[in-house]
Amino acid sequence: MSKRFSTISDVEIKELYTPSSLKGWEYEKDLGDPGKYPFTRGIHATLYREKPWTIRLFSGFGTACDTNKRYHLLLEKGQHGLSVAFDMPTLMGIDSDDPKAQGEVGKCGVAIDTLHDMEVLFKGIPLDQVTTSMTMNGPAIVLLAMYLAVAEKQGVSFSLVGGTIQNDILKEYIAQKEWIYPPRPSMRIIQDMLVYGTKHLPKWNTISISGYHIREAGSTAAQELAFTLADGLGYVQAGIDAGLNVDDFAPRLSFFFNAHSDFFEEIAKYRAARRMWARFMKERFKAQNPRSWILRFHTQTAGCSLTAQQPYNNIVRTAIQALAGVLGGTQSLHTNSMDETLALPTEQAATIALRTQQVIAEETGVMNTVDPLGGSYFVESLTHEMEKQALEMIEKIDKMGGIVVAIEKGFPQKEIARASYHYQQQLERQEKVIVGVNKYVEKDERPIETLYIDEKCEKKQISDLKKVKKERNAKEVERALAKLKKGAEGTDNLVPLVLDAVRAYATIGEICSSLKNVFGGYTEQSVF
């Protein structure tokens, strides 16, 4: 039997692709020029010639003060925008002094309890001049409100505040598992944020619909594409159901994809994503504004592809993955640091990750022309294959009654678990190779230096929180939280209510538990 060749997602690949591989394929219909429907070749006519992608490194650790220093350093070294990594308690909407937060404070991101921490985090960083991305989902409404309150204190109008809040709760149930409330009330909060953002935040991306975590959880490339777009369809429907006109909010939706190691499969995935989204928006939702049709996306190289073994190899993996993102036409890019399977990145490792992007942008010449791979028999065939597989899955989800129902049934969760187990078995059989792990293994490796967050951080954070609680007006906090609870019971938009609570220095835990009292919590039916 001849050897079978397949991508990392196990899509079979032929020896050679020729014009006959693209039967029935039409340039205008399937590709179009860059900047033209269906945007397969990219969302801008000139792409990186006019404006290079935004170099945006995800960063955050310890206290707000520690992270603020790292942000100033990254901006000095030529990074364009900020991207905040929060610690686990903040991501789950609990305070640093909560017993469940023990041992987690500041460990895998920065700890934020009140507006005070956000003020320190952005000290000396004018929010009308830097755009910020916040990876925040369950309590997204709280962190957005805190960011706006910091802008207010800096005298920056909300209309000038630019950036992105991830706010993609559906993929939390599917993959990342950081939720607070059940899916349906979570969707109501997102509706409120869409409505508020559409009215008051013209430069803010209200949701970053994320495939990244779906991929990290073990999905294939086509599953990443399918579930992400299915989530996107769910949010667009939610916006319409909230009474918005699709063209008023769709242009502020953005996407976030993974860049894994299978170079061409990833490029095909991004190109298929743009084409599929354009068609969905135009055909299914009848959007008229071309800006509603375009899929803008951020890319992060695949954390799950990095190895603790021979960690320097991770620099090479990241560079290749980043190049795939660029050739796929990404709008912004995060490159992982080589030490991220071990700990949060050291300053040196983060600098190499930043330099990797600068080398790609300024030494390789890949920015000279738009979509250099367009028209390749192979890339176009693979783009078509990604689209075909993803459409089949989206059709299944549609038949179930949409993505919320599919999630409640555990459909994406089961599919991902199955794919990740399949890949692991391929690794065990050495059908797929990870250098340094299941092939070319070295004994007696010397460990590299890593960043260590000690327990002092937790103590400092808790004592700061105590101080804020003592100094704030307790009555004002109580009043704001009571109003918020009432709003949650009714149908008022929750954003202004959370903003008031934040301004009074209510903690993230207080705000989220007020909402949880109304909305309830969530436990998933685990499958393996």
Partner 1 sequence: MFLVGTRSNRYFNMKTHTRPLRLLVSKAGLDGHDRGIKVVARALRDAGFEVIYTGLHQTPQMIVSAALQEDVDGICVSILSGAHLALIKDIQILLKKNKISKIPVILGGVVPEEDFPKLKKLGVKKIFTSGASLQEIVSYFQTLKPQG
Least CB distance from residue 527 to partner 1, whole Å?
7
CB of 421 to partner 1, least distance (A): 5
Q: Which helix (H) or strand (E) is 21 found in, with range? A: none
Nearer Cβ to partner 1, position 105 or 127? 105
Smallest distance, partner 1 to C-beta of residue 181, A = 14
State which residue, 129 or 523, has the beta carbon closest to partner 1. Answer: 523
Phi, psi of 333 (to 5 degrees): -145, 135
Single-letter amino acid code for the residue at 138:
G
Nearest-angstrom CA–CA distance, 153 and 182 = 34
Smallest gap, in angstroms, from Cβ of residue 151 to partner 1?
29
Residues that bind partner 1 (CB under 8 A): 88-89, 91-92, 94, 100-104, 107-108, 172, 176-178, 216-218, 304, 307-309, 341-343, 417, 420-421, 424-425, 427-428, 434, 437-438, 447, 450, 452-453, 523-528
Least distance to partner 1 from the beta carbon of 245, Å? 35
Indicate the helix (H) or strand (E) that contains 75: helix 64-76
CB nearer to partner 1: pick between 21 and 438: 438
The CB density around residue 396, as the number of other CB atoms within 10 Å, is 14
Nearer to partner 1, 91 or 515 (CB): 91
Our CB check for partner 1 shows the closer of 218 and 239 to be: 218
Give least dist CB 178 to partner 1, A: 5
| Residue closer to partner 1, measured from CB, 91 or 281 | 91
When the beta carbons of 21 and 307 are compared against partner 1, the nearer one is 307
Min separation Cβ 118 and partner 1, Å: 20
- Would you call 160 exposed, middle or buried from its count of C-beta atoms within 10 A (0-12, 13-18, 19+)? middle
Closest approach, Cβ 436 to partner 1, in A, equals: 8
Cβ pair 268, 222 in contact under 8 A: no
Please, which residue, 31 or 134, has the CB nearer to partner 1? Answer: 134
CB of 53: closest distance to partner 1 in angstroms? 28
- In three-state secondary structure terms, 127 is coil
CA distances to 272, 473, 511 from 518, in Å: 41, 24, 11
| Spatial distance between the Cα atoms of 138 and 238, rounded to a whole number of angstroms | 17
**Cβ nearer to partner 1, comparing 31 with 91:** 91
Cα 345 to Cα 252, 309, 341, 349, 437, distances in angstroms = 31, 16, 9, 6, 21
Q: What is the 3-state secondary structure (H, E, C) of 214-251?
A: HHHCCCCHHHHHHHHHHHHHHHHHHHHHCCCCHHHHHH
DSSP run (H or E) holding 269:
helix 263-279
Q: Closest CB to partner 1 among 19 and 447?
A: 447
If the CB atoms of residues 101 and 350 are measured against partner 1, the closer one turns out to be 101
The full 3-state SS of 440-482, as one line of letters, equals CCCCCCCCCCCCCCCCHHHHHHHHHHHHHHHHCCHHHHHHHHH
Mapped onto helix, strand or coil, the DSSP state of residue 137 is coil
Peptide bond into 19 cis (omega under 30): no
Strand order in the sheet with 163-165: 204-205, 163-165, 132-134, 81-84, 54-59, 332-334, 297-301, 253-259, 207-210
Tokens standing for residue 354: 């930043």
